[in-house]
């Protein structure tokens, strides 16, 4: 009778222990935010979207703190915001680069037009 009860009790104790250990914070929860920040950094967001990048980093830090404080709900929300802020930093960086490229192209075109006029006369741009 006693030999039946004892393994059951031990198993129960183990299950409870494991459950209690995993319930608190899963650090992979913030992986999306970390990845997004890395992407933004590698795209040179520190140069073109420094405020967005800084917000994202601080938000991630806060999320990690929340995770450490055993506040998974808050950590999730902070992580999600950090991820979107990092994405925004990336897109703004890409947009800034695209605008710079556009400006270069515009200048190049202006140069070509003035070259054409100087070489072939003022009617050079007429088709």
Q: Which is nearer to other proteins, 2 or 123 (CB)?
A: 123
Number of other residues whose CB lies within 10 A of the CB of residue 101 = 10
46 binds other proteins (CB under 8 A): no
Torsion angle (degrees, nearest 10) of CA 20, 25, 26, 32: 160
44 binds other proteins (CB under 8 A): no
Residues in the chain: 127
* Three-class SS state of 1: coil
Site residues for other proteins, window 55-84 (CB under 8 A)? 77, 80-81, 84
Taking CB under 8 A as the criterion, the residue among 10, 12, 102, 118 binding other proteins is: 102
Q: Which is nearer to other proteins, 38 or 115 (CB)?
A: 115
Q: Which residues are CB-neighbours of 48 under 8 A, at least 6 positions away?
A: 92, 93, 96, 97
Question: What is the contact surface with other proteins in residues (CB under 8 A)?
Answer: 77, 80-81, 84-85, 87-88, 91-92, 94-95, 98-99, 101-102, 105-106, 108-109, 112-113, 115-116, 119-120, 124-125, 127
């Amino acid at each position: 009778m006693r030999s039946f009860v004892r393994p059951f009790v031990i198993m129960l104790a183990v299950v409870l222990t494991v459950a209690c250990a995993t319930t608190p914070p899963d650090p992979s929860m913030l992986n999306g935010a970390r990845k997004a920040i890395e992407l933004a950094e590698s795209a040179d967001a520190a140069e073109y979207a420094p405020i967005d990048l800084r917000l994202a980093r601080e938000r991630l830090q806060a999320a990690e703190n929340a995770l450490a404080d055993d506040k998974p709900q808050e950590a999730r929300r902070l992580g999600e915001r950090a991820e979107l802020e990092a994405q925004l930093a990336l897109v703004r960086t890409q947009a800034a680069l695209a605008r710079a490229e556009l400006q270069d192209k515009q200048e190049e075109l202006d140069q070509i037009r003035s070259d054409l006029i100087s070489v072939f006369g003022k009617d050079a741009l007429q088709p």
